[in-house]
Amino acid sequence: MTALKGVANVSDRKKKRLIMRVSILAVLLAAISYTIYSSVAGDERLLVKAGDQAPDFKLEDLTGESHQLSDYQGQGVFLNFWGTWCKPCEKEFPFMQNQYEVYQDQGIEVIAVNVGESEFKVSNFANEYGLTFPVVRDVNKDVMDAYSIGPLPTTMLISPDGEIIKVIKGEMTEEMVASYMEMIKPESQESSE
C-alpha cells in the first residue's frame, strides 16, 4: 500500500511539474508574440515614409565636421542607417563606396549614419573599407528615432528638394545602389549628360 502511495505521489509531482512548465512556456510565448507584434505594428505606423519631407538633423563625422541634412538641399541624398555588427551593412558598404565614386560629381551625397556605437569602432570600420563619404555617428539615436528606423540596414532616398522618395529595408546589391542613386540624381545633372 505504501509503495502505491509513493508511486502516486511521484506521478502527481510529475503532472504538477509538467503543468507548471507548460504554463511558463505559454506565458513566455505570449510575451514574445506581443513584443514582436508591437514592434512590427509600431514600426509600420511610425515609419517616415515615401512622400514625407525628410526630418532635418545635424551630426558630426569622424573628423569632427558637422553635417546637416538641409545643407544638402539641391543634391540627392543616399541616407544609410547602419551598425558595425550588421553583416548585411558590411556587405553593402563596398557597393556604396564604388557607386559614390561614380555619382559624387553628379549631385549625389551619401551619408552613412552609424547608430549608437563608439567612435573607435566606427572609425576602424570606415578605415577598413576606405570610405570617403561622410560617416556620422548618431550617439543618442535621436536621428534613428526621428526617422523611426527599425531593422538595420535601412536606407532613405532623399530627392534634391528634401522629399523621401523611397525607403529600403535590408541589404542592397551594387546594382540596386546604382539604380537608387540614379533615382535621386538632380535633374540638372541628368540633362547635362
Q: How far apart are CA 124 and CA 42, in angstroms?
A: 34
Q: How far apart are CA 58 and CA 60, in angstroms?
A: 7
What residues form DSSP beta bridges with 53?
163
pLDDT digits (tens, 9 = 90+) for 64-111: 999 999 999 999 999 999 999 999 999 999 999 999 999 999 999 999
Helix orientation angle between 87-103 and 119-129, rounded to the nearest 10 degrees: 60
pLDDT digits (tens, 9 = 90+) for 140-186: 999 999 998 888 999 999 999 999 999 999 999 999 999 999 999 99
pTM of the model: 0.73
Residue for grid cell 503543468: 19
Domain boundaries, the chain: 1-46, 58-188
Q: How far apart are CA 149 and CA 166, in angstroms?
A: 14
pLDDT digits (tens, 9 = 90+) for 98-132: 999 999 999 999 999 999 999 999 999 999 999 99
Residue with the bigger pLDDT between 39 and 26: it is 26
The number of angstroms, rounded, from the C-alpha of 176 to the middle of its chain's C-alpha atoms is: 17
Which CATH number does 58-188 carry? 3.40.30.10
Number of Cβ atoms within 10 Å of the Cβ of 59:
20
pLDDT exceeds cutoff 70 at 35 = no
